[in-house]
Structure 1
Amino acid sequence: MKHVSIVVFITAVQALICFSTLAQVVVSKAGIRQEVRIDESTKIVDKTTGKQISYQAYRQLMQKDPYGYHVMPVFDEYGKASAYMIRPTTAEERETHIFYNELDPTLQPKVGEPIPLFVMKGIDDKVYRSTDLKGHVVILSFWVSLSKPFWGPSQANQFADVIRPYQSDNGLISLGILRESKEEIANVMATQTLPFMPIPDSYSFNRKFQVASIPSFIVIDKAGNIAAFVNGSDYDQLKQVIQHVSRN
């Protein structure tokens, strides 16, 4: 199966300036919609200067030139946009009114480095903290959705075959990053067994970890370091990495 590249872009700047918030709508070619809302409680940082600016200063910039600036979320360990960075738009963005999502594979977590802190809540209501998972091999798998073209019997079987020999009560921990709600995932689980613990409403972790291809996998070793970042459905590479880290 070929992997799916995700290109998220902002198709409009909805200048809801008349009241207390400003919003931008983020839409992907796969139909994934996200709305970014900025209000007086939002931390906004000027990317050029590195200094924080006030909400009123941000409003004035957007009122003066709605297509002149682009805001980029900064994600915390919960996968939430705890702050935003603002930068001037490019000439192409200004002309087309399309603002790309700033995914940059060069900013992906590096192999050999500690995994950036994360806190995820599974469909089992259990909280999975990266700091608490040391001593286990952990796989973060990024699927977006449990429907086509992101998910199907082929993906399920290939991934399950790779991790099955290493799963036990105290063995490998498999977490699946999905945009779908707890209820939607539960409906799928009523008819099939998933080879990971689903993390509902967690699509923002794709942005936090700069995931540009679906599926992608981050393998974390028992020391909490990144053993591999597998972009795309290279299950042979994934199998080799898991074999190696499980022996150590």
Structure 2
Amino acid sequence: MNDISTSPIEESSQRALPRWGRILAWVALFALLVIVARALLQKQQGPVAVGQKPPSFTLTTFDGKSYGPAEMAGKVVLVNFWASWCKPCEQEAADLEAAWRYYQPRGDVLFLGIAWTDTEKASLGYIARFDITYPNGPDLGTSISQAYRTTGVPETYVIDKNGNLAYVKLSPFTSLSEIKAAIDPLLGP
């Protein structure tokens, strides 16, 4: 006879394997749902909102200087996230530099450029190409952009003298006058 029979032990082990497979599949599905839920929640939160206290950070610039809460205190601070490969960033680069040269002599305005997901060589090339003189540094480990919940580049955040977020721009500035319109009301008389 060609009757194939299995022992009770073999049947038991054959059933156990699919059960473990089902458990593993459920665990994998649950893990995937958790990851998707976290991503959706972060996306729903969007960037930091006007009126909120923005995340505190310290930026170490490409030339080794540090800008943290102490250097920002009592100043209007423009924080611009950019990347050397970003075409819209190129569109606003000259206007940001012109605004920096306009406000820098006052002493109560600080611009900080944050190179997002870029190499140091490419970032320094971008800075040189657009003759950027305001402080710029890398977002090492994307810690600053994650704290600000950035969604891309360019993104610009303007913080008032009291340390509150006063203005958010999620696209490139189109003119020097647009930048001045974001900063001038925060300077007072």
Q: Which has the larger radius of gyration?
A: 2
Q: 2:103 aligns with which of 129, 150, 166?
A: 166
1:190 Cα deviation from its structure 2 partner = 4.3
CA distance 1:136–1:162, shift in 2 (3 Å): same
Aligned-residue Cα RMSD (Å) equals: 3.2
Task: Determine which structure has greater relative contact order: mean sequence separation of CA pairs < 8 Å that are 6+ residues apart, divided by chain length.
Answer: 2
Higher fraction of strand:
1
SS in structure 2 of the partner of residue 211 of structure 1: coil
Deviation string, structure 1 residues 156-199 (Cα, Å, up to 9, x no partner): 12222344321227232111121223343234444441253222
Aligned to 1:215: 154
Query: Aligned partners of 2:69 and 2:25: how far apart in 1?
Result: 41
Aligned to 1:68: 30
- Report if the CA contact (8 A) 1:140-1:219 is conserved: yes
1:150 Cα deviation from its structure 2 partner = 4.5
Aligned to 2:84: 146
TM normalised by structure 1 equals: 0.54
Q: Which runs of 5+ in 2 are unaligned?
A: 1-22
- Say yes or no: does 1:238 pair with 2:179: yes
Instruction: Give the residue type in structure 1 aligned to 2:183.
Output: I
CA distance 1:237–1:191, shift in 2 (3 Å): closer
Higher fraction of helix:
2
SS in structure 2 of the partner of residue 151 of structure 1: helix
Aligned to 1:156: 93
Aligned to 1:177: 114
- Report if the CA contact (8 A) 2:95-2:173 is conserved: no
Query: Aligned partners of 1:168 and 1:239: how far apart in 2?
Result: 15
Query: Aligned partners of 1:198 and 1:137: how far apart in 2?
Result: 16
Q: 1:128 aligns with which of 67, 73, 86?
A: 67
CA distance 1:149–1:227, shift in 2 (3 Å): same
Aligned sequence identity (%):
20
CA distance 1:214–1:101, shift in 2 (3 Å): farther
Query: Aligned partners of 2:49 and 2:24: how far apart in 1?
Result: 36
